[in-house]
Structure 1
Amino acid sequence: MKQPFDFFLERQISRRALLKLAGVSTFGGMIGYSRFAKPEPTVFQKDSLSLPTRLSHTRSVVVIGGGLAGLASAYELCRRGFQVTLLERSPQLGGKIAGWPIQVNGETLMMEHGFHGFFPQYYNLWSVVRELEIQANFKSLNFYSVVYKGDRYNPEIFRPSHSAFPWNIVDLAVSSSNRLRWGLNLTSYGHWQVFREITGFNPQSSYQRLDDLSVADWVKQDFPRGLYDLYFLPFAKSSLNAPDVLSAGELMQFFHFYFFGNPEGLAFNGTCQDMNRSLVQPIAQFILQNGGRIVTEAAVTNLDWQQGKITSLTYQKGRVENTSPFWVTANPVLDATVQSPLKFYGAGDRVYAVNSNKSEALSMTCTHQGCTVYPNEKGEFHCPCHGAVYDREGRVLQGPAKRNLDRFKVVSRQDEQVQLVASNPNPTTSSGAETLQADYYVIATDVPGVQHLFSQMTGEVNSQVRQQVEKLALADPFAVCRFWFDRDFEWQQSWFTSLSGYRLTDSITLYHRIQDDYIAWAEKTGGSVVELHAYCYKEKEFPTQEALLKTFEQELYEIVPELQQATLLHRELVNQKNFSGYPPGSYRDRPETQTPVPNLLFAGDWVKMPFPCGLMERAVSSGLLASNTILHQEGLQRRALLTVKPKGMLSILT
């Protein structure tokens, strides 16, 4: 009778794989090295040191988008002597890590788009932090917990590490009280396939095998249940893409970058203040001090193409809606849920209501702090966040909002889309158009931003690049809700904890234990500040912000029962649909940083990267890669970019 391991060898390891494994001494040496000496990061694109580092002639660059990608690109180009103009659509810089002031019981505090962890393998982001000498703006959170609802699993704890694969797996298995619940059996052919994929990432072959498969479909096969509940589900959702619409190949890249390909572990840092003060403003100050120009509330209205490249850019400073027509897509979920004769378009924090009997539309964005309002049975619009009320024409009936809802004209209708333009642009909120001509243009917006820019372009637009941009996908919307209470509570897990098994909530953050302003607020009031995240919820299940708020509050009391006896002092909701999607089959058509157009570069977490990276590190690395392309074209030394090991150690088996 065959033993299980014999069966495993017969079915899984081919003759070619056995020949590969014949280099056992080399393999053993690698394993020993990964245990006793911390592996160094991999250097990507290292240039000759004999090349000049600064520009000796005049060159200009326009960077569109003031998120991390755009800031990183502008930062590096300013360091090298380029004339840089950075344009940002919003009033504040930072994109998904922007911060803005709010009022909490008469006190000014800073709100953000949610907590972000700064992992040690964010090598390129940390290199910028060191160059700016702002390391003191960050603090270690010491360890990181993943907590599954109920008593099926114990909390999983991740701590700093200094060993790479396979020893990080060994250490985790030794320390994990759930190791017998992982359900992993390497004598099972299906389980061995899973283990091989997560430990043997190879950019070419992994995407070739798995990119056309969603994570949800992949795990329907013979898959270890414990691994899915404790690791795959929470980590897939922390990519801000739901398992049913996330490429399994993309998740393997994500796993490799965050765990299997680096020796850093999963403990991370947070910021001592909001990310605007801790990171965004120091980068912006450097840009300004080195001759750069930053323009916020800058709506780009046209990019003109001639002879295969961009020749000029036109922008207008003021509210984005006051500039030019734009398209929005129908939202049938809201149509079916909200009892109203109106038809809804858009999602997240950009929803528009169109009366089918009129050629007008109304923005559902509350003019107080950007929440989405919805009609009641009287036809009035109510804000679920702070109580503002508008009449059926969008006029303010009750504060705290002071300005009426924005109105639009329906310019055109096409299938399930409408094209809108502001009805009565207020000349006091926008200035005249300005046209810029530059040697290079870096588009570093989010996905809706770059697609909107391409819809505004004139001239001989490159068809290949346009098609790539049109195919970019958006992830499901994400939501963040921050609560202020009049009392503190006991908490045994990490100050940022991933949660699994809840209907909506994916994580909890204790701001009064992390950021200095909130620590001071808690010491003064005896209260607490708690934030819940929903990384990629389904609009059909939570169609309105009222439904989000209600569910967040219910689940918070499940997670922290002591808060049921506390008084809720204030709450803030951030709800958007602008994060990059990585659906099955999207890898092959994803645009890269360098485009076929000689003076057009892309940057953002939506570009195809030549090395493993994720989230904030993906944004920063793409911005630096875009600047490297420009430096290379000008004969300058490129910045040495760092990454984790490009391939998994067991990629020899794939």
Structure 2
Amino acid sequence: MTRGHRLPPGALDRQAVCVPASPGASRVTGTPPSTAVVGGGIAGLAAAVALAERGVRVALFEREATLGGRLAGWSTRLADGSPATMSRGFHAFFRQYYNLRALLRRTDPHLERLTPLPDYPLWHADGMRDSFRRVPRTPPWSAMGFALTSPSFTVRDLPGMNARAALPLMDVRVPEVYDRLDSVSAHDLLASIRFPEAAHHLAFEVFSRSFFADPRRLSAAEMALMFHIYFLGSAEGLLFDVPNDPFPAALWDPLRDYLENLGVDLHLSAPVDRISPAPDGGFDLDTGAHTHRYDTCVLALDTGGLQQLSRSSPGLADEDWYARIARLRTAPAFLVSRLWLDRPVAADRAGFLGTSGYDNLDNVSVLERWEHEAHNWSRRTGGSVVELHAYALGDTTDRETAQQRLIGQLHRVYPETRAARVVDARHEWRADCPLFPVDGYADRPTVRTSNPSLMVAGDLVRTGLPVALMERAATSGMLAANALLAQWRLRGHELWTVPSRGRNAVLRKLAGRGAAGR
């Protein structure tokens, strides 16, 4: 990896790191090789784009009727007769997501379909409030600025903190961070540092629950990596952008057109039941109705989908690969409730609010603040479109009770909603996000498998790069494509990441001394 004088479009961090493209021809000559991409989420779309741009014959198989995976959207009709687009909920497009944003630039060069939110406020039920709007972008001033301006930190708290325990956060490196911290839970690491209780809940727990998991079950390595990506390792800041239309219109419909123009064969509503290695090389994909032959394959599936397909498809890779896939785990269920209210929330309410201490409520979005469809409905009716998220719910959670509790917490956070009538509501229950448990890193698949013709992509994959969440999905899809392109002597695609190690020399030195002293 290199740090060049240039940066990816739109980047502000001069220490962003380039992963150079492998050399080769810019496009296939002669008969093109073929690749089946199984899964139409971010990872699969990234792989399909990267391969098709080099002239590879690509077919993409998606079990749902729409592209986007966990960011898909679908049409619905409200009780008042209005058409609307429902999805699985709010996603933040951080400025550090260089490779995801590069994917979106294929159809939106200036990212005009993304809108910046002016703040990322955090509220605790005890009345404490935090914000990232005025926090400096550049580390370590970002961390110092947050601590100095945050009510969750006070001078009296500092003597009680364990600075030595915090040193691993100062110099996060991938994959070394997993060697150091994967055997510890995020909760226990924070407890050992003895952060003030308010800061523990208001800042760090909000971040850790972005992985849809209880901090007691989440690997501390994943939390430390996230702290590096968004805070101490990047100068892009904590603010983010959001699509200004529903996901299909803003993101996936244009990308679908782009893929079709590249000649990609799209198979929607086409789950792959089985993949069989062909005797003469390549793979036969069975969709029930048809069997298709391809030279190579990229599996870009969620945890459950990957496990199910691997069980029905023996012989794809070695036995160790199958054993590790079988041990993967899915994060607990989460709930997304979207409410169409007959009156507006207060004008000063943020577009997005992170919460802690409000029972099962993790965040609140007011969609008309940025999304055109919601804004138009709000203008026409005088109401608001509000979305509520509840993460890491128990397996025995009663759904109706949880939905009502969530709405009750909205009334606590935004009291003006108590008087609002719910014109319509949609409640999405899902349990398909990867869990990154303590001591789970070794079981996560890598992009490459023991079969050089088979690759794996997705946010569950080990990439060896400092990326997470949607950015890990996009990056892994590009890495899977690059690995195949290199076999055909075709040029790969350049990637970018935040710095791959702690960026401050003094903090790195302190972290090194702390590690040596343990």
**Partner of residue 386 from structure 2, selected from 505, 530, 533:** 530
Please say if residues 308 and 597 of structure 1, whose CA atoms lie closer than 8 Å, have aligned partners that are also in contact: no
Q: Is 120-129 or 486-495 further displaced after alignment?
A: 486-495
Instruction: Please state how far the C-alpha of 1:308 moved relative to its aligned partner.
Output: 11
Please say if residues 138 and 272 of structure 1, whose CA atoms lie closer than 8 Å, have aligned partners that are also in contact: yes
Instruction: Please state how far the C-alpha of 1:311 moved relative to its aligned partner.
Output: 2.7
- Determine the C-alpha separation between the residues in 1 that align with 2:58 and 2:363: 38
1:488 corresponds to: 344
- Determine the C-alpha separation between the residues in 1 that align with 2:162 and 2:234: 23
- Determine the C-alpha separation between the residues in 1 that align with 2:347 and 2:467: 32
User: Which stretches in structure 2 are left out of the alignment for 5+ residues?
Assistant: 1-11, 513-518
Residue 175 and residue 492 in structure 1: after superposition, are their counterparts in 2 closer, same or farther (change >3 A)?
farther
Counterpart of 1:209 in structure 2: which amino acid? R
1:110 corresponds to: 85
Please say if residues 160 and 264 of structure 1, whose CA atoms lie closer than 8 Å, have aligned partners that are also in contact: no
Counterpart of 2:83 in structure 1: which amino acid? T
Instruction: Please state how far the C-alpha of 1:627 moved relative to its aligned partner.
Output: 0.6
- Determine the C-alpha separation between the residues in 2 that align with 1:615 and 1:308: 37
**Partner of residue 295 from structure 1, selected from 233, 243, 267:** 267
Higher strand share: 1
Which residues in structure 2 correspond to 1:361-376 (within 5 Å)? none
**Partner of residue 371 from structure 2, selected from 502, 507, 515:** 515
1:595 and 2:432 matched: no
Counterpart of 1:446 in structure 2: which amino acid? D
Residue 222 and residue 47 in structure 1: after superposition, are their counterparts in 2 closer, same or farther (change >3 A)?
closer
1:52 corresponds to: 25
- Determine the C-alpha separation between the residues in 2 that align with 1:638 and 1:450: 26
- Determine the C-alpha separation between the residues in 2 that align with 1:291 and 1:536: 41
Counterpart of 2:373 in structure 1: which amino acid? D
Please say if residues 612 and 646 of structure 1, whose CA atoms lie closer than 8 Å, have aligned partners that are also in contact: yes
Counterpart of 2:76 in structure 1: which amino acid? I
- Determine the C-alpha separation between the residues in 2 that align with 1:147 and 1:560: 11
Which residues in structure 2 correspond to 1:327-342 (within 5 Å)? none
2:321 corresponds to: 465
Counterpart of 2:201 in structure 1: which amino acid? D
Residue 184 and residue 287 in structure 1: after superposition, are their counterparts in 2 closer, same or farther (change >3 A)?
farther
What are the superposed Cα offsets for residues 372-423 of structure 1, whole Å, 9 maximum, x if unpaired? xxxxxxxxxxxxxxxxxxxxxxxxxxxxxxxxxxxxxxxxxxxxxxxxxxxx
**Partner of residue 441 from structure 1, selected from 284, 292, 297:** 297
- Determine the C-alpha separation between the residues in 2 that align with 1:121 and 1:461: 34
**Partner of residue 613 from structure 1, selected from 448, 461, 467:** 467
Q: Which has the larger radius of gyration?
A: 1
- Determine the C-alpha separation between the residues in 1 that align with 2:469 and 2:157: 29
TM-score scaled by structure 1?
0.72
3-state DSSP class of the match of 1:111?
Answer: strand
Counterpart of 2:252 in structure 1: which amino acid? V
**Partner of residue 184 from structure 2, selected from 213, 230, 253:** 213
Residue 191 and residue 310 in structure 1: after superposition, are their counterparts in 2 closer, same or farther (change >3 A)?
farther
2:401 corresponds to: 547
Residue 440 and residue 38 in structure 1: after superposition, are their counterparts in 2 closer, same or farther (change >3 A)?
closer
Instruction: Please state how far the C-alpha of 1:461 moved relative to its aligned partner.
Output: 4.9
1:628 and 2:478 matched: no
Which residues in structure 2 correspond to 1:225-624 (within 5 Å)? 225-305=197-277, 311-316=283-288, 433-459=289-315, 461-490=317-346, 492-540=348-396, 543-624=397-478
Q: How many residues align?
A: 493
3-state DSSP class of the match of 1:449?
Answer: helix
Residue 198 and residue 107 in structure 1: after superposition, are their counterparts in 2 closer, same or farther (change >3 A)?
same
1:325 corresponds to: none
Residue 174 and residue 213 in structure 1: after superposition, are their counterparts in 2 closer, same or farther (change >3 A)?
closer
**Partner of residue 144 from structure 1, selected from 93, 116, 120:** 120
Structure with greater contact order relative to length (CA < 8 Å, sep ≥ 6): 2
- Determine the C-alpha separation between the residues in 2 that align with 1:246 and 1:164: 27
1:637 and 2:487 matched: no
- Determine the C-alpha separation between the residues in 1 that align with 2:278 and 2:49: 28
Please say if residues 308 and 462 of structure 1, whose CA atoms lie closer than 8 Å, have aligned partners that are also in contact: no
2:174 corresponds to: 203
Please say if residues 100 and 111 of structure 1, whose CA atoms lie closer than 8 Å, have aligned partners that are also in contact: yes
2:72 corresponds to: 98
Instruction: Please state how far the C-alpha of 1:164 moved relative to its aligned partner.
Output: 2.7
- Determine the C-alpha separation between the residues in 1 that align with 2:479 and 2:508: 26
Counterpart of 2:266 in structure 1: which amino acid? I
Instruction: Please state how far the C-alpha of 1:306 moved relative to its aligned partner.
Output: 5.3
- Determine the C-alpha separation between the residues in 2 that align with 1:223 and 1:71: 42
2:40 corresponds to: 66
Please say if residues 219 and 436 of structure 2, whose CA atoms lie closer than 8 Å, have aligned partners that are also in contact: yes
**Partner of residue 163 from structure 2, selected from 181, 192, 197:** 192
1:127 corresponds to: 102
What are the superposed Cα offsets for residues 595-653 of structure 1, whole Å, 9 maximum, x if unpaired? 11111000000001111111111111111111111111111121110000101133442
2:9 corresponds to: none
- Determine the C-alpha separation between the residues in 1 that align with 2:156 and 2:337: 32
Please say if residues 316 and 451 of structure 2, whose CA atoms lie closer than 8 Å, have aligned partners that are also in contact: no
Counterpart of 2:209 in structure 1: which amino acid? K
- Determine the C-alpha separation between the residues in 2 that align with 1:184 and 1:44: 39
Please say if residues 161 and 264 of structure 1, whose CA atoms lie closer than 8 Å, have aligned partners that are also in contact: no
What are the superposed Cα offsets for residues 331-371 of structure 1, whole Å, 9 maximum, x if unpaired? xxxxxxxxxxxxxxxxxxxxxxxxxxxxxxxxxxxxxxxxx
1:223 corresponds to: 194
- Determine the C-alpha separation between the residues in 2 that align with 1:162 and 1:434: 56
Instruction: Please state how far the C-alpha of 1:459 moved relative to its aligned partner.
Output: 4.6
Residue 181 and residue 284 in structure 1: after superposition, are their counterparts in 2 closer, same or farther (change >3 A)?
farther
Instruction: Please state how far the C-alpha of 1:148 moved relative to its aligned partner.
Output: 1.0
Please say if residues 317 and 449 of structure 2, whose CA atoms lie closer than 8 Å, have aligned partners that are also in contact: no
- Determine the C-alpha separation between the residues in 2 that align with 1:99 and 1:66: 13
- Determine the C-alpha separation between the residues in 1 that align with 2:236 and 2:44: 27
Please say if residues 270 and 514 of structure 1, whose CA atoms lie closer than 8 Å, have aligned partners that are also in contact: yes
Please say if residues 463 and 476 of structure 2, whose CA atoms lie closer than 8 Å, have aligned partners that are also in contact: yes
3-state DSSP class of the match of 1:489?
Answer: coil
Please tell me the root mean square deviation across aligned C-alpha atoms, in Å: 2.0
- Determine the C-alpha separation between the residues in 1 that align with 2:432 and 2:51: 27
1:170 corresponds to: 144
Counterpart of 1:193 in structure 2: which amino acid? R
Please say if residues 175 and 465 of structure 2, whose CA atoms lie closer than 8 Å, have aligned partners that are also in contact: no
Please say if residues 213 and 435 of structure 2, whose CA atoms lie closer than 8 Å, have aligned partners that are also in contact: yes
Instruction: Please state how far the C-alpha of 1:535 moved relative to its aligned partner.
Output: 2.2
Residue 481 and residue 450 in structure 1: after superposition, are their counterparts in 2 closer, same or farther (change >3 A)?
same
Counterpart of 2:239 in structure 1: which amino acid? A
Instruction: Please state how far the C-alpha of 1:45 moved relative to its aligned partner.
Output: 3.7
1:387 corresponds to: none
What are the superposed Cα offsets for residues 109-162 of structure 1, whole Å, 9 maximum, x if unpaired? 1001001111000001111222322512111112111111122x2x21113877
Instruction: Please state how far the C-alpha of 1:179 moved relative to its aligned partner.
Output: 3.5
Please say if residues 305 and 461 of structure 1, whose CA atoms lie closer than 8 Å, have aligned partners that are also in contact: no
Please say if residues 183 and 227 of structure 1, whose CA atoms lie closer than 8 Å, have aligned partners that are also in contact: no
